[in-house]
Structure 1
Amino acid sequence: MPKIKSNSGAAKRFKKTAHGIKHKQSFRSHILTKKPTKRKRQLRGMKQVHDADKALVRRMVPKL
């Protein structure tokens, strides 16, 4: 039986925590001058993957 390969792009984007899977918030990498300070502040930090998406992430990265 061959080994199951992880999706290498997804493996870099998601990390396992004690309470689920965390990911970086999108819309924070460029074109920041037109975004309000409040929006940029709220996009900081890591977020939890939604329950509806956990199955997709686990299929892409089975080692999580």
Structure 2
Amino acid sequence: MAKSKVKKNKLKTLKGALKRFKVTGSGKVRFRRANRSHYNTSRTTKQMRDARANGVACKSDEVMIKRMLNVEGV
């Protein structure tokens, strides 16, 4: 008697998270820092320089973000 396969539902990726986050090859989650798009004349050069670097999510947030992106191994 052949075993019947149970179909699993496919999980949908949250599109907002897909646009905001990127998972690196080592599994870290990177994102673009805030306060970069407009009204920058009042900000100091240091603030703009610090915002230029991409951020790396902490471990607790990383798990939630990977769930939203349906990344394997979460």
Length, aligned pairs only: 64
Corresponding residue to 2:14 among 7, 12, 15: 7
Identity, % of aligned positions: 31
Q: Structure 1 regions of 5+ residues with no counterpart?
A: none
Conserved in 2, the CA contact under 8 Å of 1:23 and 1:49?
Answer: yes
User: CA RMSD of the aligned region, Å?
Assistant: 1.5
Q: Structure 2 regions of 5+ residues with no counterpart?
A: 1-7
TM-score of the aligned structures, taking structure 1 as reference length: 0.85
Post-superposition CA distance 1:6-63 (Å, at most 9, x none): 1001001111113311100111111111111111011102111111211110121113
TM-score of the aligned structures, taking structure 2 as reference length: 0.75
**Higher share in strand:** 1
